[in-house]
Structure 1
Amino acid sequence: MSKITIADLPSVHLLDKNRLPNCAAIYFVTDSNGQIIYIGRTVNLVARWKDHHRFNQLKRFNRKNLLSISWLNCSNDLSTLSKLENEFINLYKPPLNWSKVVQPIRKITPVETALQQSLQQLAKLNTVIFGFDSIAEEKPTIYLNYPVYGKRGLSGSVRVALRNINKKASSLKWKEYHTEPKSFGKFGFWETEYNGIKIDLSPSEGLVNIMQDATRKTIAGVTFMALSVLQLETIIESVPEIKEDSPGLEAVEEDPIPMKFIDKLPASNGNNKSVVEVEPWEELEPMPEGEVREMNRQFLDVDGVEVEVCTNENGKHFVRHNVYWWISQNQKDPERNNLVTNFKRFVDTLPTIRWSGYRFRLETIVFNEDDVEVESILLPLTMFEDLMKNAKSHFAGKLLQEMESGEYKSKPEDGARIKLCAWLQHNSLSSLLQTNKV
């Protein structure tokens, strides 16, 4: 069986369905752009459409996009109807054959748009292109990994994002082909297919250690972090089974699904919390031995709490660990012996994995304004905010309710941790930096 030219088949407009002939047929519902949106079979075409289960659904869509019914006469061989229908559905993948009848049609989403929208969601969740096997046994396969850490990860956000894509009236569908048991994190393994290329998405615990050195490549025009040739070769050397399972696996250089950027993600109205956007790390490269890191600093006032913010030459903002310790623990200088271990433990208790695997370093810093030299660990400003906001887990009752609702009013007896934690639930220090330039 080969593709047919729909334009060459006899057809009538949807609302002229009573003009359909009395014959056995495979029928195709197409829109004004020629896209096939539904395929079916029948032994009596006109009778089938007198009370078609999708007619009311299609009629709604017909108001904005004129639909037609085309048919392929099969009266000479009724035994092939079922087989032909399945073959045509698998060939054209019409979106409504994959959607519920009760779902009203407001928009048919082209497969390219659905693909790019789902990939954009995954890219926002720090998904990494692991590689591309162009000679895979089943079909050419792009391997994507999303980060997890221990039993925590972004599997829930991935699941919500892809299920939302699956709700669209589109022939592109993501299948969760395996789910880890809850005791192992309930991480999901997903796959989809576009134009003969399979996309495989799976969790990976080691990603947090390689994100910093990853390169940037595109899949279907969407930019991702991607393993470099050297990174992939290093991984394969340490895990030779990867090459045995995927002998054609290579780092992505050129886009395996080249296409123009068709559609952007819908603008968020601020109320959609189904997908978590993960910000990239702001980790600094270590200084050469014997050298100090030069930075500027400014002091922000939040409800009487002074927060020192350091800024490097690239405009990235950090908070020294001493400042965090003073605000959160009311201690000037913590024990140096377990300092790095403590901060690793702190970030591991956060509800996000964005900082898991972060490399904390104690280093010498000199401030340009006054040549003051200090020894500190620099925490990215966003990490500092995450740590301070997470302090609400230590509060309960009325205080916690006031923090979350934004009704908190500071009292003289409230400590710096309470005041800053409450303020950060609905604000960001970066908003103050915009008006307090270095």
Structure 2
Amino acid sequence: MDADVPLHLLLLVPLLAIIPLILFASRRLTPPESSGVARLPPGPWALPVIGHLHHLAGAIPHQALRDLARRHGPLMLLRFGEVTAVVASSPDAAREILKTHDPAFASRPVGPMSRLWPGLSLPDLFPSSRLAMLVSREPGRIKRCRREMLQIMDAVIQEHRERKAAGEGEAEDEDLVDVLLGLQEEVGSQHPLTTENIKFVMIDMFAAGSETATTALQWVMAELMRNPRVRHKAQEEVRRALAAHRRVTEDVLGSLHYVHMVVKESLRLHVPGPLLTLRQCRSPCQVLGYDVPPGATVLVNSWAIARDPAHWDAPEEFLPERFDQEQGGAGRDFKGTDFEFIPFGAGRRMCPGMTFGLAHIELALAALLFHFDLELPADVDAAGLDMTEEAGITTRRRSELLVVATTLVPVPE
């Protein structure tokens, strides 16, 4: 029977079999842009269910993400459970997210992943799972903390209202709560300042502001104790500027140029919030040529950017003089225009408490340098001072900093 089949038909059979293989191979080799498929950022290998979470297990998150970025590029796509995250680890990626496409990334993730570390819980990883909400204790704990904080704020507001009603206190003694309560009476009904608004402004100021400033001050003191040359130079500047004074005041800060550089260099090495405040992509856009999916949580690793040897000389060294333009240093600042240095973020979502936080840090630092001579305990070597980080709401020192303080100028009562 086979002898009756024409030769050309026999040759046609393998050709017909090869055609589907050619079509399949051509589709696989076609660039995603031309095939209509999203060109997503690269990333490491993932596991079922948990995604890329195992790459961060037991590590400081911003350090682990920096190491991953060195292997996979400045823009990575990661998955934590059900949640998609995009991580930016270069000035160019940060510029596109925080400036070029600022409106697309102006949203904040609410609920899941709004606080990536620490205390990551099942509802953060699997927000659609009702079982995760039922099993986890985290939602109940958060509600209790919120209720307790608001009760404290209620008591503070009530105390201020009673004091004002009784006619106690002078105008110069007014604090933030008094100012907010006064504004509540002045603003129109179209945009009312409610008591609930006042409570959350207070929480933001005293919780977010004080925690980050305290952490930053701990790090700058640790760097000064590790670098006696820098400490003595900063101390000389403070005492020269305050020679005719008995206390540090805010109007003196403008003349403390070296102290300002010391704080900048400490913020470069030890940004309190290394992943900035999380953002969320709310509309399709491209970053560095990659498609960022709507709904993705976006992290900008400002810690990794500020230690990148491609943009900083001797990035691991504490050198305040690198910011001294008169000595040929970089003119970079942290006000959101130099994306190599963004401890406060950039764009419309830049930290609104930057000025308040800086004044807090510089006033406290200048006061310590003015009133006290500071030394490490005799059994502690400056070069061997533990500078290990600990992950938390802010990135704090793992160990306490012990300093011997000798009073030089008495602190006014």
- Tell me whether the two structures share a fold, i.e. TM-score over 0.5: no
Give the TM-score normalised by the residue count of structure 1: 0.22
Tell me: higher relative CO, structure 1 or 2? Use CA pairs within 8 A at least 6 residues apart: 2
More strand, by proportion: 1
Question: Which of the two has greater helix per residue?
Answer: 2
